[in-house]
């Protein structure tokens, strides 16, 4: 696998889109969190109701959660990059040439999955460091409480990445793949909101508390684990919200990951290239 990764690195290191998207992502994580920090300080804290108890999202305990949640929104970048890298191979027909030159099909798709994992790990390390730095600057004392959210961030990252791999293998063309990624994510979010509304309604009518059904969809499962950080407004609304079946959402998120992995692998190994 190390040799395969070195070959991938030869493909990546001179690719401008890779450098640009990687830099955008790194700056994006820092910038997003900085903006959230500023908004909280300049806007939210100025509104007396929200600030009933002094609320600082980047203090320890909170910082792991806030940073993970805020950074989640730019996970589309590494996913997009992966989709571009894989569809490029189709475009250049190098996916054929790599096989002809002596990779097995399993190796070809396997190393792309490994890239998906590495991108997710690097993003997670970056989020960890960002959370740590913001936390240390908050002047509160260090704590690992809430670190699970960084784990959820990783799960979300790897889910997005493997989904991008699957889309790339299925549609093969760059523009089309990116279009599908955006449209699917938008579409799933929309349906997820509808299901969320339905879940609340079912509970309020006393019929059933099925949890937030919006979280049961492929990408929203990983999303759903990484909830909006606790605040006063959210605590107040707890009574009307459906029950939180975290274990179920977690199991589904893992299940979808496995599905993406095997579907994409099978597709590449079995079909004409």
Partner 1 sequence: MVVLSVNNLSKNYKSVKALQNVSFSVPQKTVFGILGPNGSGKTTLLGIVMDVLKASGGTYAWMGEEGNAAQRKKIGTLLETPNFYHYLSGEKNLKIAARIKGRGEEDIDKVLQIVNLHQRKDSKFSTYSLGMKQRLAIGAALLGNPDILVFDEPTNGLDPAGIAEIRELIKELNRNGKTIIMASHILDEVEKVCTHVAIIQKGVLKTVGSVKDVMANTGSDTATTVLIELSADNDERLIKILQQMPGVLDINLVDNFLQVTCSENITAAQVNKFCFDNGVVLSRLNEKRKSLETRFLEITGTKSEK
Interface residues toward partner 1, by CB under 8 A? 3, 6-7, 10-11, 14-16, 88, 92-94, 96-105, 107, 270-273
Determine contact, residues 203/52, Cβ cutoff 8 Å.
no
Q: How far is the CB of 19 from partner 1 (least distance, A)?
A: 11
Nearer to partner 1, 7 or 74 (CB): 7
Residue 26 burial class via C-beta count within 10 angstroms: exposed 0-12, middle 13-18, buried 19 and up: middle
Q: How far is the CB of 6 from partner 1 (least distance, A)?
A: 7
Residue 175 burial class via C-beta count within 10 angstroms: exposed 0-12, middle 13-18, buried 19 and up: exposed
* Alpha carbon distance 15, 81 (integer Å): 11
Nearer to partner 1, 1 or 52 (CB): 1
DSSP three-state, residue 172: coil
Structure tokens at 69: 């949640």
Nearer to partner 1, 16 or 54 (CB): 16
What residues contact 118, with CB distance under 8 A and at least 6 apart? Answer: 5
Nearer to partner 1, 3 or 207 (CB): 3
Nearer to partner 1, 42 or 272 (CB): 272
What residues contact 66, with CB distance under 8 A and at least 6 apart? Answer: 33, 36, 57, 58, 131, 134, 229
Please name the helix (run of DSSP H) or strand (run of DSSP E) that holds residue 249, with its range, or none. Answer: helix 246-270
Q: How far is the CB of 101 from partner 1 (least distance, A)?
A: 4
Q: How far is the CB of 82 from partner 1 (least distance, A)?
A: 16
Q: How far is the CB of 173 from partner 1 (least distance, A)?
A: 15
Q: How far is the CB of 105 from partner 1 (least distance, A)?
A: 7
Nearer to partner 1, 91 or 187 (CB): 91
Structure tokens at 164: 């991008």
Q: Which of 169, 177, 212 is nearest to 80 (CA)?
A: 177
């Amino acid at each position: 696998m190390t040799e395969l990764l070195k070959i991938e690195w030869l493909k990546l290191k001179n690719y401008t889109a890779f450098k640009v998207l990687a830099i955008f992502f790194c700056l994006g994580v820092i910038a997003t969190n900085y903006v959230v920090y500023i908004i909280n300080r300049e806007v939210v804290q100025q509104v007396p109701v929200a600030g009933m108890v002094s609320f600082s999202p980047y203090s320890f305990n909170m910082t792991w959660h806030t940073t993970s949640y805020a950074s989640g929104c730019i996970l589309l970048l590494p996913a997009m990059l992966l989709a571009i890298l894989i569809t490029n191979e189709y475009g250049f027909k190098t996916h054929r040439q790599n096989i002809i030159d002596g990779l097995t099909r399993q190796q070809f798709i396997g190393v792309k999955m490994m890239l998906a994992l590495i991108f997710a790990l690097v993003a997670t390390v970056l989020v960890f460091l960002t959370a740590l730095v913001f936390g240390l600057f908050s002047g509160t004392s260090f704590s690992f409480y809430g670190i699970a959210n960084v784990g959820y961030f990783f799960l979300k990252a790897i889910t997005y990445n493997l989904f991008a791999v699957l889309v790339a293998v299925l549609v093969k063309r760059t523009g089309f793949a990116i279009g599908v990624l955006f449209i699917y994510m938008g579409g799933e979010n929309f349906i997820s909101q509808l299901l969320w509304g339905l879940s609340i309604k079912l509970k309020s009518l006393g019929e059933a508390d099925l949890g937030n059904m919006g979280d049961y969809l492929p990408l929203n499962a990983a999303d759903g684990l990484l909830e909006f950080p606790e605040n006063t407004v959210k605590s107040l609304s707890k009574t009307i919200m459906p029950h939180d079946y975290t274990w179920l959402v977690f199991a589904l998120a893992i299940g979808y990951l496995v599905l993406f992995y095997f579907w994409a692998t099978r597709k590449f190994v079995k079909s004409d290239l």
